[in-house]
Amino acid sequence: MRISVEINGRSHEGEVEPRTLLSDFIRHGAGLHGTHVGCEHGVCGACTVQLDGEPVRSCLMLAVQADGRSLRTVESLAPPEGGLHPLQAAFQETHALQCGFCTPGFLMSIEAFLREHPQPTEHEIREALAGNLCRCTGYKAIIEAVERAAERLHRP
Amino acid sequence: MKPAPFAYDAPRQLGEVLELLAREDEDVKVLAGGQSLVPLLNFRLARPDRLVDLNGVESLAYLRVEDGALRIGALARHADLERSAEVASGWPLLAEAVRHVGHPQIRVRGTVCGSVAHADPAAELPVALCVLDVRFHVRSVRGSRVLGADELFLGFLTTSLEPDELLVEIEVPAPPAGSGTGFAEHARTHGDFALGGAAALVAGEEARLALLGAGPVPVRFDGAPGDLPDAAVADLSLTGPDAEWRRALLRELARDALERAVA
């Protein structure tokens, strides 16, 4: 089936089988390798992307279901002129990643979360992170990164 | 893993969906939110011949209050329930229970009707719906029927829906005047499958309680609020080395849900 998906503002077209997962289309069809594939059954959250602004598991959607829709992946975060998104910078400063495999999923989940909760409590942050697994950091540094990013993004 | 091959249809009309479901020569499955079905496809635990994707059927994407009852269409997402002001004020039990379903990333896609039709014994919404005396509206090319919770849930991942039937709407009547509701659950981490849970509705001296994690289907008990926690867990046939721990957990969760209902 022929599909056309807008990813990070650019249209990506491709021929896919109905069974092609969206995560595989993003990586192999569109060639965007920032989205990582971990468990492929919706548990780890590494493949999280934003579909029309909302965080979703790209391994739990078929590519054909994204036809005509608009996606954002981790590649959209850093400004085109270079440097890091404030959330990425906060992750770097607080050592909120070690191997980095889970990081794209965390970033895309948290970026959406902070839009809905500009001044989150620690409890809200912990709940928001529950859908993403990290096997390196123990989460403390990630929570700190989210707090730091929230402060900076919220400051007028 | 990746799904085995299947044929795929994305109709725009309910009638087309029902026609496709009625095909007798094929194993046809409905794809709504996909948050339970797609993992099963990826594991190849499910290998349907054909998927009928509901997402293009706009007439099923609704959550509205009509004649005092909440009507949840087949494409209403968990997030719709979670974000609805009408649900928060009129059916706070559902607003509370839905926040325990998976994670935000799951609730954005997952549908309420899909969760019910999947009938996972660890699911929150079937238990919450059970104490609200809901009616499940089912359609097929053969006609329509209306089922209560005790008629729909048959066992582990098993409902009385026939292969050609679609759960098109859940009708939730307004809770009795002056009643209160409460929900409590225990999971190892927020959003993980619950080890136990309880939904309660209290109206004066009468209470309804439904337990999650007490068996293959939601278990409902009616009685006086003070007696229910002990009465409900007394006859549960729990097995395994942690049976007594689970019985104690369910009793505490029942008490907690009932207390929240009167608070």
Amino acid found at B40: L
Write the pLDDT tens digit of every residue in B22-71. Answer: 999 999 999 999 999 999 999 999 999 999 999 999 999 999 999 999 99
Instruction: Confirm or reject contact between B1 and chain A (CB < 8 A).
Output: yes
Q: In angstroms, rounded to a whole number, what is the distance separating the alpha carbons of residues B105 and B188?
A: 19
Query: For residue A17, which residues of chain B lie inside 8 Å, CB to CB?
Result: 5
Nearest-Cα residue of chain B relative to residue A133 = B189
Residue B257 has pLDDT above 80, yes or no: yes
What are the boundaries of each domain within chain A?
A: 2-76, 86-154
Query: For residue B105, which residues of chain A lie inside 8 Å, CB to CB?
Result: 45, 48, 55-57, 109, 131
Q: In angstroms, rounded to a whole number, what is the distance separating the alpha carbons of residues B125 and B233?
A: 20
B3 to A57: CB separation less than 8 angstroms, yes or no: no
Could you give phi then psi for residue B106, rounded to 5 degrees? -85, -40
What is the third-level CATH fold of A86-154? DNA polymerase; domain 1 (1.10.150)
Write the pLDDT tens digit of every residue in A106-127. Answer: 999 999 999 999 999 999 999 9
Residue B170 has pLDDT above 80, yes or no: yes
ipTM computed for the complex? 0.93
Question: Is the pTM here over 0.90, yes or no?
Answer: yes
Contact status, residue A109 vs residue A54, Cβ threshold 8 Å: no
Three-state secondary structure string covering A63-79: HHHHCCCEEECHHHCCC
Contact status, residue A30 vs residue A5, Cβ threshold 8 Å: yes
Write the pLDDT tens digit of every residue in B200-254. Answer: 999 999 999 999 989 899 989 999 999 999 999 998 888 888 999 999 999 999 9
Does 3.10.20.30 match the CATH number of domain A2-76?
yes
Mutate to test the interface with B, among A23, A43, A64, A65 (most CBs of B within 10 A): A65
- Please compute the mean of the pLDDT values over residues B85-114 and round it to a whole number: 96
Write the pLDDT tens digit of every residue in B122-168. Answer: 999 999 999 999 999 999 999 999 999 999 999 999 999 999 999 99
